[in-house]
Amino acid sequence: MPEARGCIVVIGAGSVGCYIGGRLAAAGAPVRFIGRAGIAAEVADHGLTLSDLRGFHAVLAPGAVDFRTEAAAAADASLVLVTVKSAATESAGHELASHLASDVPVISFQNGLHNAEVLAECLPDQPVLAGMVPFNVVNQGQGRFHHGSEGDLEVADSSILDLWQPVFDKAGLPLQRHVDMPAVLWSKLLLNLNNAVNALSGIPLKAELSQRAYRRCVAMAQRETLALLEAVGIRPAKITALPPHWLPAALSMPDWLFRRLGNRMLAIDPLARSSMWEDLERGRRTEIDWINGEVLRLAERLGRQAPVNARMVALIREAEADGRRDWPGEVLLDELRSVAD
């Protein structure tokens, strides 16, 4: 088994990858980043500046950051963290397969339900673990990445992690290990149903979640999803202060009551936004097919409909094509009600 002191490679080093890899590097771990040429140029000029809502702050000088743009740079990896967008999972897996030594652990820290499975098919000689990043990371430009909400890294339990747990602990990124990772991924997906609402609102997460109309939009999508999960016998894991089935009711509370009872949900940096908003802002394809789209595929398997999630997919598709991205909460809520009735 590779030693924990070997090179950790982060492939797909965007907001999440730069933050996680940067925290590990700031704690003394040898980290190599692989990502887009644009971010490579930013890091070459500015290095990495990492911060979080609890007051953490660290700066890595440009010369201290090993940032590459080709998958061949993973050849001497002892651990690989995959943070590419879901649409790029298969291509990243095939690229890694050409370069990784046998038995190098791979962890998928991506949105969606099945990325680890896709990677495992591409990487039959590697142990592949599903992971999940519950917190939001904002790319503030010039190599600055800010962790803007609560949560710890979640990962499928494995003895492989025994070697790496101290490395992540030292970096302030403790790994929460789970036997039933699919239940955890479904719980994250329930939370991520807010990504599309936030992207369509055009405002920061904290401001959006402070308005009942937007929260009720999320609650509608969650109720629809929970009904489908119940039909197939899937029980999402409890990864927040509230059990998953309580989330729609909590989000639907009047603002004054939500502010009193939902303090942890509002423990978000005032400038934080969803990754889907960032994708729209940068003209990139969003991960809507791997979030609300997963709900549609589950409904199709059951021979049922998921009209609220289907409408959210359609609205994000329109936004990707330069459609509306400034929906007031009540207007968006009426739009979703019109298809749910």
Closest CA to 148 of 213, 82, 67, 206: 206
At residue 148, the pLDDT reads: 81
What count of other Cβ atoms lies within 10 Å of the Cβ of residue 17? Answer: 25
At residue 272, the pLDDT reads: 82
* Residue 308 backbone phi and psi in degrees, to 5: -65, -50
Low-confidence ranges of the chain (pLDDT < 70): 1-6, 263-267
At residue 259, the pLDDT reads: 86
189-206: pLDDT as tens digits = 999 999 999 999 999 999
Contact status, residue 120 vs residue 48, Cβ threshold 8 Å: no
- Alpha carbon of residue 47 to chain centroid: 23
131-153: pLDDT as tens digits = 999 888 988 889 999 998 888 99
Helix ranges (H only) for 29-159 are 37-46, 89-97, 115-122
Query: Residue 6, exposed/middle/buried by CB under 10 A (0-12, 13-18, 19+)?
Result: middle
- pTM above 0.75? yes
